[in-house]
Amino acid sequence: MPSTEYRDGAPGPSDGITSETVANGGMSSVNYLPADGAAITFSPGAGCTGRVFKSTSRPSDIRADLADGSLTYANLIAGTQPTTSRWMLWSSGAVTSMTSEGPADSAGDVAVIATATGGAGTFEVAR
């Protein structure tokens, strides 16, 4: 199966699915989305509250914030925006049971990231 190119210009996984465990007090990696969006799912474990954040900022701005250390779990949870890129909370808000959205819901977004508190959760992006 061929790889897909994402908005950051990098090739994606050949199966088009990224699944990541987000530890308590942790943050997932940044998942860049294709132009037509992606299916996004967060499945919290026992006691976990997940939050998914979306950005329409340029990938170069997101990478700059990762490099300067301003795109962090603490900043996202506190509602503090990073230096350059801008993030908003997923419309589902605080996730305490498995929640999903389809590709059409994220078609205007460039990237997504997830955080977990009170326990671990699984964050999946299917392109």
pLDDT, tens digit, for every residue of 2-55? 334 444 555 555 567 889 999 999 999 999 998 889 999 999 999 999 999 999
- Contact indicator for 126, 74 with CB cutoff of 8 Å: no
Distance, CA of 104 to chain centre:
16
Return d(Cα 85, Cα 58) in angstroms, integer.
Answer: 7
pLDDT, tens digit, for every residue of 72-107? 999 999 999 999 999 999 988 999 999 999 999 999
Residue 72: Cβ-neighbour burial (10 angstroms; 0-12, 13-18, 19+): middle
Q: Of 19, 9, 21, which is closest to residue 59 (Cα–Cα)? A: 9
**Global pTM value:** 0.87
Return the SS3 of 105.
Answer: helix
Return the SS3 of 21.
Answer: strand
Domain range annotation of the chain: 17-126
17-126 fold: Jelly Rolls (2.60.120)
Q: Is the CA virtual torsion 16, 99, 102, 31 positive or negative?
A: negative
